[in-house]
Amino acid sequence: METLNSLTRVILLEDDPTISILYHGLLQKKGMEVTSFAKKKPAIDYLSENHFHNQNILITDLQLPDGNGLDFVREVRKVNKHIPIMVITSTEDPKQIIEVMKEDVQEYLIKPVIPAELISRIEYQLSNKKDEYIHSDYEREKILSLEKLLEWYTYKNTRIQKSDFNSNELNKNLFYGLRTSLAQGAGLGVITELIDIIKTMPKVENGGVILDPEILKILEENAVYSKKVLDRFSEIEEVIFDRIKIEEVSALKLFNEMLKVKEEISSLLLIKDQVLLIPEYKGSNLNSKMIKLNSEYFKKILYELLLNAMRFSKPSSKIFFLIHYDADGIYLSTINSYDDEESAKIGISNRCLELIFEPFYRMNQNIYDKYGSLDFGIGLSFVKQTIEKFGGSIQALNLVDHTNEKKETKIEFKIYFPYSSSAK
């Protein structure tokens, strides 16, 4: 474990000279080497010149004379994603705190800071390994979910205080809050809050509530959406507890199911003017190979993977749906481009490729209303658990396509199903 000693080097960015001297002296007494700055630019210049090689931890304020600490943190993270960053500030604005924490900040302390607490926080950060300084994707999800809930509660409290329930504005904000929060795992709590708001609305003589038709529409829409979520959970439960019937089907039937699903999603392909390509397969050997699975759930797997491919592919792009068989089993793959420019260049990090099948994990926070998808972060988790229940496996891989003049990174979801013992 790394402790505070003469080798511990601290970068301190604080424009208040009194506070800067206080922190500087405190840290020096603990055997640390402190380099102090009052402005953002010289601190960045120093860090760039030293390439962060000898720096153990960074402490910064948010209010700076030549910018703000948030911009400073972002500039630091462009160069170094591992150095632990501590923010010490007088602001208690929840939104600002969330914005800062989204930039891989390890600590956020509100002034005045007790010296013992500052030292304790530094010791804790230095006790971690460098590769643990980056926020995990799970932590990012929590922050984003918190952000959406904060927006909702801020809106709700403002409306209650003002007793202002303009139906058009209410419809817009409530629908956004409900759909977005539900898609990020917090919707049931928000629906409860909606009931609280309804209770504050104007009452009729017999005590009933005057419910605006638009609000009723919102409730109905979200009830339908919630049922879809619960249905998906029920499907996962059926798989986990072995309640689905497993049967032997031919490899040819798998291919035919692929063709059926292609027809079913044809209207969704038009949303982005995309094309789904399935190579033609011939030969009786496909009909002689047998796989153990449930046909209904296999179809759900295919649908979910193609829905995922359509949502995250570029407009006017091609999506490939391939089938290949060898001596031991069958491989199915969906291959599609990345709509995100950064991913199109370098692909998805290995860490994200592993997390992509985890429950509630989402690569972005978009809501894809046109596709009628849940956007709840459980689709690929359902796919993986179901495939594994059939004795198969699935991987997410980055591929580099060299078929065009300009090489392009794409993503492949590769499924493997072993032949049943009677078919080997």
> Which domains, from first to last, does the chain contain?
9-135 (3.40.50.2300), 139-240 (no CATH), 247-423 (3.30.565.10)
**pLDDT value at residue 393:** 95
Task: Give the containing element (helix H, strand E) for 318.
Answer: strand 318-325
SS3 of residue 114 by DSSP: coil
Contact status, residue 314 vs residue 339, Cβ threshold 8 Å: yes
Q: How far apart are CA 53 and CA 36, in angstroms?
A: 17
Q: With the CA atoms of 28, 30, 34 and 36 taken in that order, what torsion angle do they form, in degrees rounded to the nearest 10?
A: -70
How far is Cα of residue 88 from the mean position of the Cα atoms in its chain? 27
pLDDT, position 293 = 92
For the chain, helix (H) and strand (E) counts, in that order, are: 16, 14
Closest residue by Cα to residue 243 from 386, 343, 364, 100: 386
> Which parts of the chain register pLDDT below 70?
1-6, 50-55, 92-95, 98, 128-202, 210-212, 214-226, 281-287, 359-369, 371-377, 422-424
Q: Please enumerate in sequence order all residues whose Cβ is within 8 A of that of 365, keeping only pairs 6 or more positions apart, or say none.
A: 144, 180, 184
Burial class (CB in 10 A: 0-12, 13-18, 19+), 96: middle
- What pLDDT is recorded for position 186? 37
* Whether this model's pTM surpasses 0.85: no
Tokens of 331: 């491989």
Q: Which residues contact 205 (CB under 8 A, 6 or more apart)?
A: none
Per-residue b or e along 166-197, where b marks 16 or more CB atoms closer than 10 Å to that residue's CB: eeeebbebbbebbbbbbbbbbbeebbebbeeb
Question: Which residue from 146, 184, 185, 138 is spatially nearest to 354, judged by alpha carbons?
Answer: 138
Would you state the pLDDT for residue 391?
92
**Beta-ladder partners of 320:** 277, 335
Q: What is the identity of the amino acid at 37?
A: F
DSSP 8-state secondary structure symbol assigned to residue 242 = T
Residue 391 backbone dihedrals phi, psi, to 5 degrees: 85, 10
Q: Where are the alpha helices (DSSP H) in 163-244?
A: 167-183, 187-199, 213-240
Residue 242 pLDDT: 83
* 98-123 burial code (b ≥16 CB/10 A, e <16): ebbbbbbbbbbeeeebeeeebbebbe
